[in-house]
Homo-oligomer: A and B are copies of this chain.
Amino acid sequence: MSKSAINLLEKFSKFSEHWSPKVVAEMNDYQFKLAKIQGDFVWHDHKDTDEVFFVIEGSMRIDFRDGKVELNEGEMFVVPKGVEHKPFAENECKVMFVETRGVTNTGDASGELTAEKDVWV
């Protein structure tokens, strides 16, 4: 087994594109992914899994059909499975996601923002 710590800011320094999650760690059948986000994402949900958002740097918002949640650095939120949501960040925000392996970032709403899976950084 590797004995190196995973430094999140160092990992973030290795890519610049937005809305393109990169895997940094796996735990059982879950993946920890980093993404830089800015602007509007698409409305989508994940039918089979909850999804964790954890803001590492910056701030973002998650819109829901019936409300919203603002997330700042050091704050997290769990979007329950099946709940439609639309992430948004006015300025670039560094986010860590925790998801089951193989989940599609846009859920069923595939399109230009649908990211390739299992890309590690």
Contacts and interface: CB of A to CB of B under 8 A. Distances in A.
Q: Interface SS of chain A: helix, strand, loop or mixed?
A: strand
B6 A77 contact: yes
Copies in the complex: 2
Contacts of A7: 72, 74-75
Contacts of A51: 27
Contacts of A4: 69
Given A74-B7, A75-B8, A76-B32, A98 B27 contact: yes
A116 interface: no
Interface residues of A, number: 37
Among A8, A56, A68, A83, chain B packs the most CB atoms within 10 A around the CB of A8
23 contacts: A3-B64, A3-B68, A5-B71, A5-B76, A5-B77, A6-B76, A6-B77, A7-B74, A8-B75, A25-B52, A25-B76, A26-B50, A26-B78, A27-B50, A27-B51, A27-B52, A27-B78, A27-B98, A28-B50, A28-B100, A30-B98, A32-B52, A32-B76
